[in-house]
């Protein structure tokens, strides 16, 4: 009797968690995102046709919104290592329904981090020279190596835990359709769930979880070194690696919270992504906010206290000058307000959490913009005899279109992955169900 109850429970879990076709609202979202991507592609065509002159990047601001966006993507991709690896190794069981969402976000973000860095190149057809003539002494090469490595680890970390789910998906040919069925068969028809297969898979996942943490730390530390090894006001900091990592975990966790809320609503996953998950993610988020606030204080308080002449222009511009509205918006929206909201239990309910997640992500995007641009507008040597427009930077429509297109593209990848694969690991949920039943 109990056995049949358990089987019924299993079937219910499978039915609940199988990938589903997009609803009309989902289709509308896909059309809108595709439209953004197409406009971005057209803008990139213009950039290729006429050169980087279509952007508003000039001699001083040579890293603009593209590099800000690149740093943002790299940051957000770190969530894969936080939720999947750190939680798993630390024995945090409640995080398991969120692992696949985190990995999907990580894969999508790292793909677009790689794309956007090529977009920033004036002559992308010469990209291969980076491999032919790249210097191992350059942090740019370190970044290329580490991003490629992180991408492969993320793909493997998405794939391995999915093997048992693929076996389940293969049972539902009518629901998935012939094409997807063939695809599932290609990816995982060999998984029979034998003890030996399970052991090999478990060892691989544990190895990946251990490997991804140092690689994840390296990827963002190296990204921070792209700045910190360049002698500029605001970048000349030993705090940068840790500052970037803390910010990355925060924005990644924020993105997971947003995704949790949306998928829970769309697919009716209230049973699997519960209020407890939101509450606990809220606690994680507030901890990360406090950590990031601490690094921000470190990053800005000491130079502000000293006010070295070479850095005064940059600091004043950030605190009270032309960048002040964006700076204080990023600090308050991305860090302070989330801390205040999340400290209260009511603030850790799904809807407030969703809003906080959006605030964190938006604040984080602007924070990356502030890391790149104000510094470039305040070089150590004064700007002399340059056109007036060199003193300012506001992205051109092509830059905005490409950036928004890349953000839309990353969301499209997440939507596509969710359409094809289960958002919540099915087999893992069944196993937990059995353990709870015992």
Partner 1 sequence: MKLLNKILFGSLSIIFLLSGYDGFAQTADKGSLSVAVSYFNVNNQVPYVLVKVKTKVKGKFQSVGGIPFKLFLNKDSAGTFIGKVVINEQGEAMALIPLSLKKEWNLTVKHTFIAAFAGNTKYDSTSTNLTVSKAKILIDTASGRSVVATVMELKDTTWTPVKGVDVVLAVRRSGGDLNINETATFATDSTGKASGDFKRDSIPGDLSGNIILVAKVLDNDSYGNLSIEKKVPWGSKFVSRANDFNARTLFATRAKAPVWLMVVATGIIIAVWAVLVLLVQNILKIKKLGNEA
Footprint of partner 1 (CB under 8 A): 133-137, 142, 145, 149, 152-153, 156, 159-160, 163, 189-192, 194, 196-197, 200-201, 203-204, 207-208, 211, 215
> What's the CA angle centered on 71, arms 129 and 106, to 5 degrees?
95
CA atoms within 13 A on the CB side of 149: 17
Token duo for residue 18: 């199988």
Task: Return the number of the residue (200 or 275) whose C-beta is nearest partner 1.
Answer: 200
Q: How far is the CB of 251 from partner 1 (least distance, A)?
A: 25
Q: How far is the CB of 197 from partner 1 (least distance, A)?
A: 5
Q: How far is the CB of 154 from partner 1 (least distance, A)?
A: 11
Q: How far is the CB of 126 from partner 1 (least distance, A)?
A: 16
Task: Return the number of the residue (211 or 416) whose C-beta is nearest partner 1.
Answer: 211
Task: Return the number of the residue (210 or 351) whose C-beta is nearest partner 1.
Answer: 210
Phi and psi at residue 153, to the nearest 5°: -65, -40
Q: How far is the CB of 395 from partner 1 (least distance, A)?
A: 32
Task: Return the number of the residue (153 or 415) whose C-beta is nearest partner 1.
Answer: 153
Q: How far is the CB of 193 from partner 1 (least distance, A)?
A: 9
Distances (CA, A) of 7 to 104, 113, 200, 340: 29, 43, 26, 45
Q: How far is the CB of 241 from partner 1 (least distance, A)?
A: 16
Task: Return the number of the residue (69 or 218) whose C-beta is nearest partner 1.
Answer: 218
Q: How far is the CB of 168 from partner 1 (least distance, A)?
A: 15
User: CA quadruple 146, 152, 158, 161: dihedral positive or negative?
Assistant: negative
Q: How far is the CB of 125 from partner 1 (least distance, A)?
A: 21
Q: How far is the CB of 160 from partner 1 (least distance, A)?
A: 8
Token duo for residue 183: 């695809």
Distances (CA, A) of 190 to 154, 194, 252, 300: 22, 11, 33, 55
* CA–CA gap between residue 360 and residue 252 (Å, rounded): 9
Report whether 97 contacts 277 (CB < 8 A).
Answer: yes
Token duo for residue 195: 């003890």
CA atoms within 13 A on the CB side of 419: 14
Helix ranges (H only) for 268-425 are 275-306, 309-319, 324-331, 337-342, 350-376, 397-420
Task: Return the number of the residue (162 or 318) whose C-beta is nearest partner 1.
Answer: 162
Task: Return the number of the residue (153 or 339) whose C-beta is nearest partner 1.
Answer: 153
> What's the CA angle centered on 358, arms 357 and 364, to 5 degrees?
90
Using the CB atoms, write b or e for 211-241: b if 16+ within 10 Å.
bbbebbbbbbbbbbbbbbeeebbbbbbebbb
Task: Assign 117 to helix, strand or coil.
Answer: helix
43: nearest Cα among 404, 319, 311: 404
């Amino acid at each position: 009797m109990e056995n049949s109850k358990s089987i019924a429970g299993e079937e219910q879990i499978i039915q609940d968690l199988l990938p589903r076709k997009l609803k009309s609202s989902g289709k509308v979202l896909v059309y809108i995102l595709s439209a953004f991507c197409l406009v971005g592609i057209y803008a990139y065509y213009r950039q290729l046709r006429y050169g980087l002159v279509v952007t508003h990047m000039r001699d001083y601001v040579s890293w603009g919104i593209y590099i800000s966006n690149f740093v943002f993507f790299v940051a957000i991709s770190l969530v894969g290592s936080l939720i999947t690896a750190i939680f798993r190794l630390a024995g945090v069981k409640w995080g398991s329904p969120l692992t696949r969402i985190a990995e999907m976000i990580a894969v999508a973000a790292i793909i677009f981090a790689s794309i956007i860095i090529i977009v920033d190149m004036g002559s992308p057809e010469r990209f291969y020279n980076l491999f032919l003539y790249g210097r191992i002494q350059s942090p740019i090469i370190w970044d290329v190596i580490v991003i490629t490595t992180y991408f492969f680890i993320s793909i493997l970390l998405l794939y391995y835990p999915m093997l048992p789910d693929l076996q389940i998906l293969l049972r539902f040919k009518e629901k998935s359709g012939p094409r997807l069925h063939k695809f599932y068969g290609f990816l995982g028809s060999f998984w029979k769930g034998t003890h030996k297969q399970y052991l090999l898979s478990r060892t691989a996942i544990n190895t990946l979880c251990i490997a991804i943490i140092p690689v994840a730390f390296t990827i963002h530390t190296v990204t921070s070194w792209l700045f910190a090894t360049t002698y500029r006001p605001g970048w000349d900091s030993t705090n940068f690696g840790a500052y970037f990592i803390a910010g990355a975990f925060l924005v990644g966790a924020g993105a997971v919270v947003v995704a949790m809320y949306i998928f829970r609503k769309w697919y009716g996953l209230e049973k699997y992504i519960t209020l407890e998950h939101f509450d606990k993610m809220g606690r994680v988020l507030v901890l990360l906010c406090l950590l990031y606030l601490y690094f921000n204080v470190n990053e800005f308080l000491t130079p502000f206290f000293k006010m070295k002449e070479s850095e005064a222009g940059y600091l004043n511009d950030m605190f009270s000058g032309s960048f002040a509205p964006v700076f204080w918006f990023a600090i308050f929206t991305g860090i302070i307000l989330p801390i205040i909201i999340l400290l209260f239990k009511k603030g850790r309910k799904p809807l407030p959490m969703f809003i906080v997640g959006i605030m964190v992500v938006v604040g984080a995007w602007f924070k990356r913009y502030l890391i790149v641009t104000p510094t470039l507008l305040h070089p150590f040597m004064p700007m002399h005899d340059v056109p007036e427009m060199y003193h300012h930077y506001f992205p051109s429509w092509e830059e905005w279109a490409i950036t928004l297109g890349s953000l839309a593209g990353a969301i499209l990848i997440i939507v596509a992955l969710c359409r094809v694969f289960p958002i919540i690991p099915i087999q893992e949920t069944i196993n937990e169900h059995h353990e709870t039943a015992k």
